[in-house]
């Protein structure tokens, strides 16, 4: 939310009615250092980052936020770094070191990060229960307070022409979901009363209806198909296909506890590839592995030190509260 560029001008241009003349405002000039990559890691990072935002008009010491990156773009960058460089960086590293040079240094000192990740993946192969992330727990408890609310559902309506085969589309969706088994996760309570994600890659997904109609409008779909999900051992997504004489309409709905807008874009891209008969890339780091990574980070000394630091800070008296308390005494 912080502006990238600040400019100081003598006065604001105004329209005859006294309002600011936005069109007359000077265009901000972004000053970048444009330092070129100095080693192989920086060159690879520069290639990845420039392709992601479709510009190479920046350098290795320029802040990625400044050139147009957002938190979502950085998440995507993290995935590409793992894919291209076999290094899994903590998200906090990307947020706190958003320049190519700093990221390159983190990659070089991470050393055995990739081997640790491989060990984590290998050790989790036979696991059935996985922890929920802190974000998932927050979503879960809020949904439990309002179980019938639909604020955490992500519905989407996609209209295709009559060239799309509804039955082939259904098959592509099923095969894509099977290729991303994390989407089949169930939220359950284990024998000790702890919320967990239950993994069953072989479970069949609910049938995807294909309904033939004369016509279908979005208001009807929004009114009849969008419903709240049960978070007690239930499937957390659903699809429905409407087929008319001149189009195929796909309705999808996901719970935000297992996906977001960015990952949904990737999923639908895979559905298109599957429909066209293309091979999907194997997903090595999914939601299960990410939950284990977060759990490992929570158990680390770095996390415990941070927790103790903030616990100490937040347990101290706050100046504003002291002022308010004294003010109330004076008023009384």
Task: Give the domain ranges of the chain.
Answer: 22-113, 129-279
CA geometry: angle at 134 spanning 231 and 109, to 5°?
Answer: 140
The overall longest dimension of the chain from CA atoms, in Å, is 78
CA 94 to chain centroid: 14
pLDDT at 249 (0 to 100)? 97
pLDDT at 78 (0 to 100)? 84
d(CA 308, CA 313): 9
pLDDT at 313 (0 to 100)? 60
pLDDT at 322 (0 to 100)? 47
pLDDT at 68 (0 to 100)? 83
pLDDT at 237 (0 to 100)? 96
Cβ distance 140 to 233 under 8 Å? Answer: no
Name the DSSP letter for residue 99.
S
pLDDT at 318 (0 to 100)? 52
Pick the CATH number of 129-279 from 3.30.559.10, 3.90.1150.10, 3.90.1300.10, 1.10.3720.10: 3.30.559.10
pLDDT at 207 (0 to 100)? 95
> Which helix (H) or strand (E) segment is 311 a member of?
helix 301-315
Query: Helix (H, G, I), strand (E, B), or coil: what is residue 322?
Result: helix
d(CA 163, CA 161): 5
CB atoms within 10 A of CB 44: 17
d(CA 235, CA 304): 35
> Was domain 22-113 assigned CATH 1.20.1730.10?
no
* pLDDT tens, per residue, the chain with 332 residues: 677 778 889 999 999 998 999 999 998 888 888 899 998 889 999 999 999 888 898 999 998 888 888 877 888 888 888 878 878 777 777 878 789 999 988 887 765 445 667 778 888 888 999 999 999 999 999 999 988 889 899 999 999 988 999 999 999 999 999 999 999 999 999 888 899 999 999 999 999 999 999 999 999 999 999 999 999 999 999 999 999 999 999 999 999 999 988 888 889 999 999 999 999 988 888 999 989 988 887 766 555 556 666 666 666 555 555 444 455 555 55
> Which helix (H) or strand (E) segment is 255 a member of?
strand 247-255
pLDDT at 122 (0 to 100)? 85
């Amino acid at each position: 939310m912080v502006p990238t560029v600040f400019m100081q001008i003598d006065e604001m241009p105004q329209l005859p009615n006294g309002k600011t003349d936005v069109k007359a405002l000077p265009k901000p000039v972004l000053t970048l250092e444009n330092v070129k990559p100095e080693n192989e890691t920086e060159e690879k990072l520069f290639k990845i980052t420039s392709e992601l935002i479709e510009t190479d008009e920046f350098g290795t010491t320029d802040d990625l936020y400044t050139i147009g990156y957002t938190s979502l773009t950085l998440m995507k960058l993290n995935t590409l770094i793992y894919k291209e460089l076999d290094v899994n960086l903590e998200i906090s590293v990307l947020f706190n070191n958003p320049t190519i040079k700093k990221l390159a240094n983190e990659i070089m000192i991470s050393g055995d990060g990739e081997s640790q990740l491989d060990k984590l993946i290998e050790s989790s192969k036979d696991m059935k229960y996985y922890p929920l992330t802190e974000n998932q727990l927050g979503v879960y408890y809020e949904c439990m307070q309002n179980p019938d609310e639909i604020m955490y559902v992500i519905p989407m309506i996609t209209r295709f022409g009559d060239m799309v085969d509804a039955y082939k589309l259904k098959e592509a969706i099923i095969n894509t979901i099977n290729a991303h088994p994390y989407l089949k996760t169930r939220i359950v309570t284990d024998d000790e009363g702890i919320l967990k994600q239950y993994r069953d890659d072989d479970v069949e997904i609910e049938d995807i209806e294909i309904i033939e109609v004369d016509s279908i409008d979005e208001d009807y779909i929004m009114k009849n198909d969008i419903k709240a999900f049960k978070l007690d051992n239930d499937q957390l997504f659903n699809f429905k296909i409407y087929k008319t004489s001149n189009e195929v309409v796909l309705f999808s709905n996901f719970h935000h506890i297992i996906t977001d807008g960015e990952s949904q874009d990737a999923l639908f891209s895979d559905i298109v590839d599957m429909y066209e008969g293309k091979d999907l890339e194997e997903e090595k780091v999914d939601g299960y592995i990410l939950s284990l990574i977060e759990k490992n980070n929570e158990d680390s000394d770095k996390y415990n030190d941070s927790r103790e630091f903030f616990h100490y800070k937040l347990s101290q008296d706050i100046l504003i509260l002291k002022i308010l308390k004294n003010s109330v005494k004076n008023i009384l």
